[in-house]
Amino acid sequence: MPTTTTFYLILSCFGALSLAAVYHTILYLQRRDKVLGYYCLYLWSIALYILYRMVFLNSAEPYMYRYVESLHLHLSIDSNLMWVTFICYVLFLGNALAPVSGDHTRMGRSYRTIIYIITANAVWENIAANIPMEKIAAVLAVSVRVYLSAFAVWVTLRTLKKKEAYYYSIVAGTFAIIFFSLLSVFVQTSFNKVLLNINTWGWMMFGYYLDVLFFSAAMGYRLKLVYIEKEKALKKILEQQTLIRQKEAASLKAACNAREQERNRIATELHDGLGGELSTIRLMAEMTRSPEFGLNGKYLERISAKSKALVQNINEIVWYLNNNNDELCGVIAYIRQFAAAYLDEAGIALSYREPGFIPNIKITGDARRQILFLLKEALHNIVKHAHASKVNIHISAVNDLVIRIADNGIGIPCREGNACQGNGLRNMQQRIGLLQGTMQVLKQGGTTLIFSIPLTVLYNKNDIENN
């Protein structure tokens, strides 16, 4: 029969324990934290164990071994319940310390072995209850307890490496239960099984009480840590989102700027090109009208030629502004047709070699404009200055777009040295430089111009639909 002190001690500890169990269960249902879940399991297992003992310790019925009628077996229920608390404790400890251990696998394996050993021992005790093997049973019982204590001490020492409140609390809790278990065993084996009016079970209760106190504190710290982690993760996501939004805004702005630049360029081209030519046409017409200037009908022919040239210019603008015309093979066909018509009109023979293979890529409108300009310049020079009778054009498109224009004319007049750069050639160098390409001028039986532009530069990176 326990003393009154022990009885009140047990009752109050049970009260505190069940309160902790209920509170942490509610907390778990809210937070769904894994470690908290295991802790609740541990708390309820202890509560059940204490309840069992409370019911049977105060009565005359045996509590250590009970005979179960239906199975015709003696079962050491008391011991089983104790081992259940141990298993829950190990599970809890394993999960609570999980982030700590560097070598996660070794800790994990040792925890699993513990659980197997405890389960095996529990089963063994049930068997031992029915078979008289007292000496062996006693030895096993002691050795298992020693092993468990050693394990608990080892875990405690490892945990001390981390210097945080969370780990300190767990260490304190483990220490408390080890200390009071040892104390209760000590009391059991001596002192008439009573110390300070409290028996072994009473001292165990102390252990449980302090243990739960520290572990609950640990849970409190843990929940705070979890909360902080979540806040950090949220902050990180928000930062990433802001970055993405900034990038989007920047790229939109860049696209806007590019479009604005293009508009300005087109406006300049129309302004410079058309304005002057149309004004000339007007003046020609006016002055041809009035007989006082003595301009004969010849100017009418010039008006006609100029107008036709202007329409052709605008036609080219329509061509390179229209993104439906951006396929490389279409571009090559267009410049071939242009060259053939232009040379045909000037009475110069064309020998054309087409590319063997044309990659299926799209070229930006600006690049098309520049390529067309280079071609026109080169052909214009040939027709106006070279006095050539034959032109060879070869186009290839492997890694670079290479356009080779060779005429059999009189060549580019050069004063001296390698750098033969008339205004037209310099302009062409500039233009092709803008496309990160190169221009070679060869003088072999006439003039050969080789334009080379990397396909990666021409490729339309802003083609949103097809990228």
Partner 1 sequence: MITTGIIEDLEDYRNLLQVLFEHNNGMQVLFCAKNAEEAMTEISNNKPGLCVIDINLPGQSGIELVQWIRQNSSGTLCLMCTAYDSDDKIFQSLEAGAHGYILKSEAPARILEAVAELCTGGSPMSSQVARKVVQSFRKSPLSTAAPLTKREEEILTHLSKGLLYKEIAAGLSISTETVRRHCFNIYEKLHVHNRTEALNKYFGK
Site residues (CB under 8 A) for partner 1? 307-308, 311, 314-316, 318-319, 322, 324-325, 329-330, 332-338, 340-341, 344, 354
Judge contact between 140 and 129, C-beta under 8 A.
no
Q: How far is the CB of 363 from partner 1 (least distance, A)?
A: 14
Nearer to partner 1 (CB atom), residue 49 or residue 319: 319
From the list 24, 373, 408, 33, the residue with the least C-alpha distance to 222 is 33
Q: How far is the CB of 456 from partner 1 (least distance, A)?
A: 24
Q: How far is the CB of 376 from partner 1 (least distance, A)?
A: 15
Nearer to partner 1 (CB atom), residue 190 or residue 315: 315
Q: How far is the CB of 329 from partner 1 (least distance, A)?
A: 8
Q: Which residues contact 171 (CB under 8 A, 6 or more apart)?
A: 156, 159, 160
Q: How far is the CB of 272 from partner 1 (least distance, A)?
A: 20
Q: How far is the CB of 391 from partner 1 (least distance, A)?
A: 14
**Which token pair is 379?**
């052909």
Nearer to partner 1 (CB atom), residue 234 or residue 341: 341
- Cα 462 from Cα 466, distance rounded (Å): 9
Judge contact between 153 and 178, C-beta under 8 A.
yes
Phi, psi of 401 (to 5 degrees): -85, 115
From the list 363, 377, 366, the residue with the least C-alpha distance to 264 is 366
Nearer to partner 1 (CB atom), residue 12 or residue 307: 307
Nearer to partner 1 (CB atom), residue 52 or residue 338: 338
Q: Please count the other Cβ atoms lying within 10 Å of the Cβ belonging to residue 18.
A: 16
- Cα 399 from Cα 458, distance rounded (Å): 11
From the list 188, 202, 152, 156, the residue with the least C-alpha distance to 11 is 202
Nearer to partner 1 (CB atom), residue 70 or residue 315: 315
